[in-house]
Amino acid sequence: MSDNNKTKIEFEESSGNIFADLGIEYADELFARAQLGFHVTNILKEKGLKLQEIAKLLGMAQPDVSHLMNGHFSRFTTDKLLDFFRRLDKKVTIRACSHKRGEPYQEIGLAPMSSKPQSEMMEYKSSIEAYFKEHPPANIKEAMVKIEDLTGIPQ
């Protein structure tokens, strides 16, 4: 295909919060829930539990576990997601600090576990960050697939 026949694709850079980019009401709340849910599901996947075991551990019905594991985090309140961390024996710390222009208002991260070795993913950190800076993912699932492509580490 010659340069004359190429279609120019229009795009705009993401703010980092897909819900805000789409103009969805309560975008910060939805984004926080997505981040919390993402970390909860990762912890559960690491444990290798069956849906029935997860349901018992988290005190919820099995269909709700399916929603959680399939990334339907908007079905759960922030309080409920925080309660999952308690049930998983994880400490949650909330820290307030000054907001700088261009930063998201809410950031959620999982602290490294002191008893576990550092993730093999860390060696790919700079290349993953560089890729996503140039090509922001549309959603968490897209990001997870791309991270697996970039690292070869199954998610």
Q: Domain for residue 99, yes or no?
A: no
Residues 76 and 127 reside in one and the same domain: no
pLDDT-derived band of residue 7, with 50, 70 and 90 as boundaries?
Answer: confident
Could you tell me which residue, 129 or 70, shows the higher pLDDT? 70
Task: Tell me the per-residue pLDDT of 16-66, one tens digit each, with 9 for 90 and over.
Answer: 888 888 889 988 888 889 999 999 999 999 999 999 999 999 999 999 999
Domain that includes residue 131, residue range: 119-155
For the record, the structure tokens of 13 come out as 């850079």
Domain count, the chain: 2
